[in-house]
Amino acid sequence: MDTLVDDIGSFPLPQGVESESFSKAYRLAREMIFQGKDISKDEYLKENFCQVVLDSFKKKVASGLDVVNFPQHYDGMKQIGDVIHVAMEEGSFLVDEKKAVLPEVYLINQRAKELSEEFGKKIQLRVSIFGPLEQYLLEVGKTPYEDVLYELAETIRRFAKNSVLNNKYIETKVVSIDEPSFGLNNIQTSSELTCKVLEKAYDFQGAARQIHLHSAAGVHDLLCVKNLDVLSFEYAASPGNINAVSKSMIEKANKQIRVGVSRTDIDAILAELYEKGIAKPSAEQLVESEEIIRKRFRFAKEKYGEIMTFTGPDCGLGGWPSQEAAQLLLSRTVKAVKQPT
């Protein structure tokens, strides 16, 4: 079985587009979607939200990825958190199902026919959502309150369920619930409750259900999540992670794995180049060589074999200095993985 190449989500804004102005357009687009209005017919949103998202998405598709995450230009935590805050004003952490909508997914689905025809294939979409544990740490802290955890899990489930698309032009291949703090900064709760909360969040059908982690330290605590399909962790910037996860433990839990094989830790990369006297690196200098990425992929593939069903960059690329550099990393990762043995 071929290992599919996907990406984690975030992507730099186009040159000349300020984060603040995009965020303003994002929030307005979301509100108009809630009101049932067509955002593509609003001139301001057409230019400042729709065109930005679609152009970035096309760059990602053009890189050759098998499964393409929508370009996450807006703060990932606020993407869900903003809507949760509205629910909190009414005394709940539970977002109304009609408002559990990601504007980027709404837009890409709206333009799926055009995208499919332009690239000559059915679009394979990946959807990333920050999970209930990450949201809980931000909103509440480490002290566990079961009712709040379950409400947040149901909210995430609703966003996930509403993001599963499947028609002639587009298919949601993966929904990833991202829990980057897990294993590093955990809620003070039992493994059993953690599993129950995540099982509630993953209670949807129609796409591979991934969890994205930065550390593999807590992987063993997630093996009890029955409806979780794929465990994903960083390897390129954190090589020790791969030693913490054996093939047998993943097979025994009847799950698959995604291993990150290209570095995205841009601050560390820039610091390393600066120490070498390169103060203003080019895109070519920022991205690892195809040979290095290929070596990592082959090592991970030899270890995990058929259960390694996905690979790609370690994490998102939102902090990278340009779309040119980010697109080069994606395309080079694809070439490294797809290179004939």
Residue 266 one-letter amino acid:
I
What pLDDT is stored for residue 226 in this prediction?
Answer: 94
Contact, 55 vs 46, CB < 8 A?
no
Burial 184-215 (b: 16+ CB within 10 A, else e): eebbebeeeebbbbbbbbbbbeebbbbbbbbb
218 against 249, higher pLDDT: 249
pLDDT tens digits for 210-238? 999 999 988 999 999 999 999 999 999 99
pLDDT tens digits for 275-316? 999 999 999 999 999 999 999 999 999 999 999 999 999 999
Domains of the chain: 4-338 (3.20.20.210)
Residue 21 has pLDDT above 70, yes or no: yes
Rounded average pLDDT over 114-137: 98
Please give the structure tokens belonging to residue 254: 């009847």
What pLDDT is stored for residue 341 in this prediction?
Answer: 65
Q: How many CB atoms lie within 10 A of CB 140?
A: 15
Q: What is the DSSP letter of 59?
A: H
Q: At what angle do helices 132-139 and 191-201 cross, to 10 degrees?
A: 110
- Sheet harboring 308-313: ordered strands across? 4-5, 308-313, 256-262, 230-234, 208-213, 170-178, 123-130, 68-69
Question: What sign results for the dihedral spanned by CA atoms 7, 45, 135, 194?
Answer: negative
Please give the structure tokens belonging to residue 314: 């370690």
- Say what the pTM is: 0.96
Q: How many CB atoms lie within 10 A of CB 146?
A: 11
CA distance 109 to 264: 28
C-alpha closest to that of 129 among 206, 62, 212, 31: 212
Backbone angles phi, psi at 60, to 5 degrees: -70, -45
Residue 186 has pLDDT above 80, yes or no: yes
pLDDT tens digits for 200-211? 999 999 999 999
